């Protein structure tokens, strides 16, 4: 064979992909790749708002490290041909033990914002938690998603406003409220402080330059309708029509006197499921059980509130053991692979939640970026189960994992 024939026999040109989003996603292999793509596409202030965390970002880093410290103990020759990663949460079937955590201001990553995320979640059959500080309203999201919708509650000083939001969420068919309890005041997010980040982003010289360097984002941003806190448009609390720093807004509007007694107030007003998000000790998980909530979400807000808080994965085992079957146990912070979900469930979690992974997807490639990350995580769950010899969620137990180094307490 001549040289030309030899070359011809090994070279295969892939057809040129015309769709830019598909081309971008074709080169993505994991969540970190999406993160890097998002960093390239989003203005620095927007990326840092999403990616950043409190103070030295120690907790944010440890959230991810916690999963890396867990080793899997694979069993082999177990016939995994009929593998089923589905589970049950609040009486509903989830195709994998995964929930999309609430994140505020989603439209700064992509003009479709919460609508894109809600649609992708519904397609994947996963619950989506809409933030109080969303940039699409309770009703707008309900109009595009017949999937399972949760509403995350920050407790305003104006309790009438909270009661009204609960009524709206119920009328719009949300199944679950998630009361976030780790935000008595806003954490000190130093990347945002350094940039003077406000919502909506202020246009100044720095942002103009940043915008010019990220023309795709800027074009989308200026073409779409202005961003506001969609759930409180027209209310006295300010709807983000004027730029405001998150700390000024939260510290003036949210009620720092919130206490356990208020949990009963919610129980009386909300007929659906109640989740307390931001539980960070066994003691508080037990108190939550006493107060009759349906689930705790072990969470430190992705390391965005108290730096130095423990990684949730380290709390899963002790909390699951302490509360038994009394409540579902969710956890979030640092989940970046399907194997992380498997590890958390093995330690006793009912499901994991993700925040940044879907925001990176949204910032990198819009709605299809969110689809991508949800498929990636579901595939990762299935693959890890197959490689560890587990055919159902019931097979994931404490024996599947081992802490490297000192065990979590
Ligand atoms: C940009 C951003 C905004 C967030 N906004 C909210 C919010 O409005 N309400 C809330 O309860 N949690 C909020 N969170 C926390 C998430 O619900 C979740 O706890 C966290 O993102 C999980 O960590 P992960 O990002 O490592 O997955 C936010 C997180 C991020 C990254």
Task: List the domain range (segments joined by +) for residue 315.
Answer: 20-397
Ligand 1: residues whose CB is within 6 Å? 50, 63, 101-104, 131, 133, 152, 180, 277, 299, 301-302, 304, 332-335, 354-357, 359
Q: Which of 42, 57, 103, 134 to mutate to test the pocket of ligand 1 (most atoms within 8 A of CB)?
A: 103
Ligand 1 center to 247 CA (angstroms):
15
Q: Which of 62, 104, 136, 305 to mutate to test the pocket of ligand 1 (most atoms within 8 A of CB)?
A: 104
Asked if residue 14 is part of any domain, the answer here is no
What is the predicted pLDDT for the residue at 132? Answer: 97
Per-residue pLDDT of the chain (409 residues; tens, 9 = 90+): 577 887 777 777 777 888 999 999 999 999 999 999 999 999 999 999 999 999 999 999 999 999 999 999 999 999 999 999 999 999 999 999 999 999 999 999 999 999 999 999 999 999 999 999 999 999 999 999 999 999 999 999 999 999 999 999 999 999 999 999 999 999 999 999 999 888 877 767 777 788 888 888 888 888 888 888 999 988 888 877 778 888 898 889 999 999 999 999 999 999 999 999 999 999 999 999 999 999 999 999 999 999 999 999 999 999 999 999 999 999 999 999 999 999 999 999 999 999 999 999 999 999 999 999 999 999 999 999 999 999 999 999 999 999 998 776 6
Instruction: Determine the Cα–Cα distance for residues 290 and 132; give it in Å rounded to an integer.
Output: 26
Output the pTM of the full model: 0.96
Q: Which of 48, 307, 355 to mutate to test the pocket of ligand 1 (most atoms within 8 A of CB)?
A: 355
Marked catalytic residue, from 301, 304, 336, 343: 301
Residue 179: other Cβ atoms inside 10 A: 22
**Ligand 1, atom 1, residue with closest C-alpha:** 50
What is the predicted pLDDT for the residue at 67? Answer: 98
What is the predicted pLDDT for the residue at 27? Answer: 95
Ligand 1 center to 18 CA (angstroms):
34
* Helix, strand, coil fractions of the chain, as percent rounded to 5: 50, 15, 40
What is the predicted pLDDT for the residue at 409? Answer: 64
CATH of the domain at 188: 3.20.20.70
Residue 219 CA, distance from chain mean position: 26
- Quote the number of domains for the chain: 1
Residue 250: other Cβ atoms inside 10 A: 19
What is the predicted pLDDT for the residue at 130? Answer: 98
Is the separation of the CB atoms in 149 and 118 below 8 Å? Answer: yes
Asked if residue 223 is part of any domain, the answer here is yes
Instruction: Determine the Cα–Cα distance for residues 57 and 301; give it in Å rounded to an integer.
Output: 12
Asked if residue 154 is part of any domain, the answer here is yes
Query: What are the distances in angstroms from CA 273 to CA 150, 178, 213?
Result: 9, 8, 45
Instruction: Determine the Cα–Cα distance for residues 142 and 173; give it in Å rounded to an integer.
Output: 7
Residue 222: other Cβ atoms inside 10 A: 11
**301 given a catalytic annotation:** yes
Look at residue 163 and give its three-state secondary structure: helix
Asked if residue 5 is part of any domain, the answer here is no
What is the predicted pLDDT for the residue at 185? Answer: 94
Instruction: Determine the Cα–Cα distance for residues 188 and 251; give it in Å rounded to an integer.
Output: 12
What is the predicted pLDDT for the residue at 222? Answer: 83
Asked if residue 278 is part of any domain, the answer here is yes
Ligand 1 center to 334 CA (angstroms):
11
Ligand 1 center to 206 CA (angstroms):
26
DSSP of 308-370, one letter per residue?
A: TPPPHHHHHHHHHHHHTTSSEEEEESS--SHHHHHHHHHHT-SEEEESHHHHHHHHHHHHHHH
Look at residue 255 and give its three-state secondary structure: coil
Instruction: Determine the Cα–Cα distance for residues 176 and 50; give it in Å rounded to an integer.
Output: 25
Ligand 1 center to 101 CA (angstroms):
6
Question: How many Cα atoms sit within 13 Å of 78 on the Cβ side?
Answer: 15
What is the predicted pLDDT for the residue at 164? Answer: 97
Question: How many Cα atoms sit within 13 Å of 154 on the Cβ side?
Answer: 27
E runs forming strands in 242-312 = 273-279, 295-298
């Amino acid at each position: 064979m001549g040289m030309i024939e030899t070359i011809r026999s090994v070279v295969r040109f892939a057809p040129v992909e015309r769709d830019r989003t598909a081309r971008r996603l074709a080169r993505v292999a994991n969540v970190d790749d999406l993160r890097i793509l998002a960093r390239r596409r989003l203005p620095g202030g927007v990326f840092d708002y999403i990616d950043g965390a409190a103070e030295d970002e120690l907790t944010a880093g440890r959230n991810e490290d916690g999963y890396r410290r867990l080793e899997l103990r694979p069993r082999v020759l177990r016939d995994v041909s009929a593998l089923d990663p589905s589970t049950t949460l609040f009486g509903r079937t989830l195709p994998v033990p995964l929930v999309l955590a609430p994140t505020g201001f989603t439209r700064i990553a992509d003009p479709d914002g919460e609508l894109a995320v809600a649609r992708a979640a519904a397609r994947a059959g996963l619950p989506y938690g809409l933030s109080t500080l969303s940039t699409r309203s309770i009703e707008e999201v309900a109009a595009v998603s017949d999937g399972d919708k949760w509403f995350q509650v920050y407790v305003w000083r104006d309790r009438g406003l909270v009661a009204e939001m609960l009524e709206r969420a119920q009328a719009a068919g949300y199944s679950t409220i998630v009361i976030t309890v780790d935000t008595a005041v806003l954490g000190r997010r130093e990347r945002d402080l350094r940039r003077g980040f406000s919502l909506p982003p202020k246009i100044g010289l720095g942002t103009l330059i940043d915008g010019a360097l990220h023309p795709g984002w800027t074009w989308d941003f200026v073409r779409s309708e202005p961003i506001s806190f969609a759930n409180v448009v027209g209310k006295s609390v300010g709807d983000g029509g004027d730029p405001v720093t998150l700390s000024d807004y939260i510290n003036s509007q949210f009620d720092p006197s919130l206490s356990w007694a208020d949990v009963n107030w919610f129980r009386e007003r909300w007929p659906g499921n109640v989740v307390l998000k931001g539980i960070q000790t066994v003691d508080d998980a037990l108190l939550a059980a006493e107060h009759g909530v349906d689930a705790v979400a072990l969470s430190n807000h992705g390391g965005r509130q108290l730096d130095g808080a423990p990684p949730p994965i380290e709390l899963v085992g002790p909390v699951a053991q302490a509360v038994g079957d009394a409540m579902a146990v969710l956890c979030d912070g640092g989940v970046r692979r399907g194997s992380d979900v498997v590890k958390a469930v093995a330690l006793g979690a009912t499901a994991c939640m993700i925040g940044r992974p879907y925001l990176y997807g949204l910032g990198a490639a819009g709605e299809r970026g969110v689809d991508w990350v949800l498929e990636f995580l579901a595939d990762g769950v299935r693959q890890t189960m197959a490689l560890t010899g587990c055919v159902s969620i019931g097979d994931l137990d404490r024996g599947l994992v081992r802490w490297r180094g000192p065990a979590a307490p």
